[in-house]
């Protein structure tokens, strides 16, 4: 059997990578990957192939040989004709699929996280700057474990009375109402949620809810109620302790500076 050309091998690798991302990663082992992310990864695959074939002159010439032959070789007229028809057709198909969009609303263009204010407030009471404000019950974890436990239990009660409808039984964002919401409720089981933000940040998000989001980066479209209208300060701090206790992830803390 004739050994496939380098061009064919590279083309096959490219296609295999696309199939792997699109159908295997984005179907069999995980959830579908957005097209933009697949395009980004495929650009890297393309660069990798380009680097591999072009580092050495001999390999680069070997790679280009079939392209060159197709373009100029007299015996390749049929192949030329096939490509002359195929390439415009592919471009036509690509253009059509991009222009003839289905009734599909665009994604939410908001920025990743809202920018918190400088000061943390509960109703009109200033609790300190975002850097300074601390969970008043957090120290009990070391100083008085029993008292800490009771705060966690209180947080659990608050959570299951108020939050679980959206954030779910297991704090994974899969509550009863979750499917009706866009953006989806926060998934506290995700390792990128609790450890990345301080307790003061969570207090701010809970107390002010969706309407308290900053003007910059709108639309936020968050359905989160303004919980400071319904919960006390202690209840909010306790529910944060519960989130941390249940998931095992601790909100962000800051060590010593340089």
The residue ranges that bind other proteins (CB under 8 A) are 25, 29-37, 40-41, 44-45, 47-48, 51-52, 54-57, 104-118, 130-131, 173, 182-184, 187, 190-192, 195-198, 200-201, 216-217, 248-258
Beta bridge partners of 122: 125
CA 216 → CA 64, 94, 109, 201, 220, distances in Å? 51, 36, 12, 17, 9
Contact indicator for 127, 135 with CB cutoff of 8 Å: no
Closer residue to other proteins (CB): 76 or 250: 250
Helix (H) or strand (E) holding 128: strand 125-129
CB of 256 to other proteins, least distance (A): 5
Q: Which residue has the tokens 């050309």?
A: 5
CB of 6 to other proteins, least distance (A): 12
**Complex with other proteins: residue 8 or 196, whichever CB lies closer:** 196
- Least separation in angstroms between CB 214 and other proteins: 9
* Choice between 72 and 257, CB closer to other proteins: 257
Min dist. Cβ of residue 36 to other proteins (A): 4
- In terms of Cα–Cα distance, which of 55, 69, 88 is closest to 8? 69
Residues 12 and 133: their CA atoms lie apart, in Å, by: 57
Measured from the CB atom, the residue of 76 and 172 that comes closer to other proteins is: 172
């Amino acid at each position: 059997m004739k050994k496939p050309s380098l061009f064919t091998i590279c083309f096959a690798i490219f296609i295999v990578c696309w199939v792997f991302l699109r159908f295997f990663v984005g179907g069999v082992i995980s959830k579908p990957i957005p097209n933009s992310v697949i395009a980004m990864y495929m650009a890297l695959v393309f660069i990798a192939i380009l680097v591999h074939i072009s580092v050495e002159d001999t390999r680069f010439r070997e790679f280009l040989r079939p392209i060159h032959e197709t373009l100029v070789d007299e015996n390749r007229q049929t192949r030329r004709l096939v490509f002359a028809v195929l390439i415009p057709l592919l471009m036509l198909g690509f253009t059509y699929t991009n222009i003839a969009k289905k009734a599909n609303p665009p994604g939410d263009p908001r920025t990743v996280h809202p920018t918190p204010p400088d000061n943390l407030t509960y109703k009109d009471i200033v609790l300190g700057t975002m850097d300074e404000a601390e969970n008043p019950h957090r120290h009990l974890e070391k100083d008085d474990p029993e008292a800490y436990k009771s705060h966690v239990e209180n947080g659990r009660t608050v959570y299951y009375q108020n939050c679980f409808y959206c954030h779910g039984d297991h704090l994974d964002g899969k509550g009863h109402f979750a499917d009706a919401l866009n953006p989806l409720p926060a998934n506290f089981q995700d390792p990128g949620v609790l450890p990345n933000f301080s307790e003061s940040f969570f207090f701010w998000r809970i107390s002010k809810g969706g309407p308290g989001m900053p003007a910059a980066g709108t639309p936020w479209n968050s359905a989160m109620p303004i919980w400071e209208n319904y919960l006390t300060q202690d209840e909010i701090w306790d529910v944060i302790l519960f989130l941390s206790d249940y998931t095992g992830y601790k909100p962000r803390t800051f060590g010593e500076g340089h």
